[in-house]
Amino acid sequence: MTQSAALDDTEGGRNDDIAAPEAPGADVGLINLEPTSRQYRTAAAAVAALAIAVATVAPIAATPLPQFAAFIPFLNATILVTDLITAILLFGQFSISRRRGLLVLSGGYLFTALIVIPHALTFPGAFSETGLFGAGVQTTAWLYIFWHFGFPMAVATYTWSKDETHGVQGSIWPAIAACVILTVALVLVLVWLAIAGDPFLPRLFTSASGLTPLGRFAPTFDLLICTFALFFLWSRRRSVLDLWLMVVICALIGELALTVVRFSLGFYVSRLLSLATSTIVLVILLAETAGLYTRLARANQMLRRERDNKLMNLEAIVASISHEVKQPLATIVMRGSTALRFLGHGQPDIEKARSALNNIVNEGHRASQIFDNIRDLFRPPQREFRPVDANELASRVLDIMHGELVEHRIETRVELMPGLPRVWGHPGQLQEVLLNLVRNAIEAMDVMQGRQRVLQLTTEKRPHDGVSIKVFDTGPGIDPEKLDTIFDAFVTTKSHGMGLGLAICRMIIERHEGQLLASSREGGALFEIILPVGSPPNAAPH
Ligand code: ADP
């Protein structure tokens, strides 16, 4: 979320009643982001570079340089823009986290942005010889001292209150408005004090434009405040913002350490450092905001994908129900027509009609059983499990499919190993799996012309505590390239197929902690179900 978006969200009062700790996105802002070791290294390198620059310039800081009248207006205009943007971005961060500390820090940047305006306007030689608004000799100097006192104080206050768990309640706008009004009022009072109170304020300069003892001590006082803010920050550092604020305070210390007479080398370098203090947090805020925006966009994409997956699941459930129920319904319709035909003869064949009607009743029960099986698929796996005899299962499936096998002129070969141990499972679901495999075998052999159609059903005990049920057909077999994908949902080679049968079968067998394997061999396809015997399978995660 961009900062302005964060502010906009709250504008309509949508977030108004949210308390700070639970505020949505409260864990996203810079105030909560922990610095990475790379950021620590970069910050340390920046401080080292600052220290080297200050140490190099300090011995020759008093070297006089040419006087550029436009230097201070240009510099202050830049600081005004960067600090104003930083303040706005920080207000944005505040609207996310609602921490009072951030509000104070935003106020600190706003204070700097505002105080540089009178500082530039009253600077002697910038806009007029003695400075605008009737500025006195030391107006600019006092404004500079207020500026470099106010900002580190705001940082120290931020550090003190940043961990407060009780943030601003209700709408953020009154809090932001109060902060802006207070800051503007403070700056106006200080400007008035520095201009109107110039004759009454303690002297900073001697008549020979040297410094009085107070003039010499004032920057040192600001420097002490900065050092205090730095140590305070260090002891309570936690976030990326804290880390870079420490760099800002270091730059401020460097600036104050180099402050000597105007238009000397130290003066120019120190003012450039004040530009650095103003841009560091802005750059970090922009970089982190861009990073957060990217992460947000990615999360949004993931959510969309998740929603599509859910729709896909819904589609899969509906398709799987229709896939499973179609078969008994087709049989019911077919047997119904048969019964009608037998009853419609001149001499109705009651026996055959009764048999067809019995079939209809059985298929009706089976359809209802299918719904139960599907519902059980979405329940904890163990609930409906009981000991199942694989041979009984195979025989029942062959009974159900008998009519179809005969209709498709398929010879059935059955080899059931006697005395098989029982497997632990859901009888209805296992029956559906075997029915699906047999139905697939029939459909596969349907396309074969002029070749004997054989369905071979085998059960056997596996060497290591398992039972295997094999379904072999003399169909075209499976393309080796497709072997890996036939168990995926919606993979089909049939014009009318849905590609769900094998996907559901594998899901059922895996819920039984078994295996469903497919292989293609000379003259057909082999599917093998391997089920564990003995103890019930462990409850798989639902
Ligand atoms: P559908 O039957 O709707 O296509 P399945 O998931 O049951 O969906 O099967 C997926 C694909 O696996 C089939 O389209 C087919 O290509 C292949 N397949 C399944 N059983 C056999 C078999 N016995 N012989 C050859 N191919 C098979």
pLDDT in tens, 254-311: 988 887 677 788 889 988 888 888 898 889 888 877 887 888 888 888 887 767 666 6
Distance 432 CA to ligand 1 centre (A): 15
The reply to whether ligand 1 has any atom less than 6 angstroms from the CB of 440 is: yes
Percent of the chain at pLDDT exceeding 90:
38
CA nearest 263: which of 64, 402, 501?
A: 64
Task: Record the pTM.
Answer: 0.55
Confidence of residue 381 (pLDDT cuts 50, 70, 90): low
In this structure, the residue with its CA closest to atom 20 of ligand 1 is 440
Tell whether the model's pLDDT for residue 206 goes beyond 80: no
Cα three-residue angle 189-192-194, rounded to 5 degrees: 110
Residue with the two structure tokens 């409260």: 26
pLDDT in tens, 154-194: 999 999 888 765 566 778 889 999 999 999 999 999 999 99
- The atom of ligand 1 lying closest to the CA of 473 is 23
The reply to whether ligand 1 has any atom less than 6 angstroms from the CB of 252 is: no
Q: DSSP letter for 219, please.
A: H
The reply to whether ligand 1 has any atom less than 6 angstroms from the CB of 473 is: yes
Please check whether residue 28 is in contact with residue 292, taking contact to mean a CB–CB distance below 8 angstroms: yes
Q: What is the dihedral of CA 487, 490, 491, 494, to 10 degrees?
A: 120
List of long-range contacts for 336-344, beta carbons under 8 Å, 24+ apart: 336/360
For the ranges 101-105, 186-190, 519-523, the lowest mean pLDDT is seen at 519-523
- CATH fit for domain 385-532, picks 3.40.50.720, 3.30.70.270, 3.30.565.10, 3.20.20.150: 3.30.565.10
The reply to whether ligand 1 has any atom less than 6 angstroms from the CB of 501 is: yes
The reply to whether ligand 1 has any atom less than 6 angstroms from the CB of 254 is: no
Tell whether the model's pLDDT for residue 17 goes beyond 60: no
pLDDT in tens, 423-448: 989 898 899 899 999 999 999 998 88
Q: Where are the domains of the chain?
A: 5-303, 305-366, 385-532
- The atom of ligand 1 lying closest to the CA of 500 is 6
CA dist., res. 144 & res. 154, Å (int): 16
Q: DSSP letter for 37, please.
A: H
Q: What pLDDT sits at residue 259? A: 75
The 3-state secondary structure of 62-98, one letter per residue: CCECCCCCCHHHHHHHHHHHHHHHHHHHHHHHHHHHC
Q: What pLDDT sits at residue 238? A: 80
The reply to whether ligand 1 has any atom less than 6 angstroms from the CB of 395 is: no
The pair of structure tokens assigned to 96 is: 């996310």
Query: Per 3-state DSSP, what percentage of the chain is helix, strand, and coil (rounded to 5)?
Result: 60, 10, 30
Q: DSSP letter for 532, please.
A: E
Angle between helices 265-344 and 501-511 (to 10 degrees): 100
The pair of structure tokens assigned to 534 is: 């003995």
Residue with the two structure tokens 């823009």: 81
Percent of the chain at pLDDT exceeding 70:
87
pLDDT in tens, 297-356: 888 888 877 676 666 666 777 777 777 788 789 889 988 998 999 888 788 888 888 988
The reply to whether ligand 1 has any atom less than 6 angstroms from the CB of 309 is: no
- With the most atoms of ligand 1 within 8 angstroms of its CB, the residue from 322, 437, 440, 493 to mutate is 440
Name, in order, each residue with C-beta under 8 angstroms of 218's C-beta and a sequence gap of 6 or more. 141, 145, 204
Tell whether the model's pLDDT for residue 246 goes beyond 90: yes
In this structure, the residue with its CA closest to atom 26 of ligand 1 is 478
Give the count of beta carbons closer than 10 Å to the beta carbon of residue 163.
11
The reply to whether ligand 1 has any atom less than 6 angstroms from the CB of 492 is: yes
Tell me the C-alpha to C-alpha distance, in Å, between residue 464 and each of 416, 460, 492, 531, 539.
Answer: 18, 12, 34, 11, 21
Distance 492 CA to ligand 1 centre (A): 6
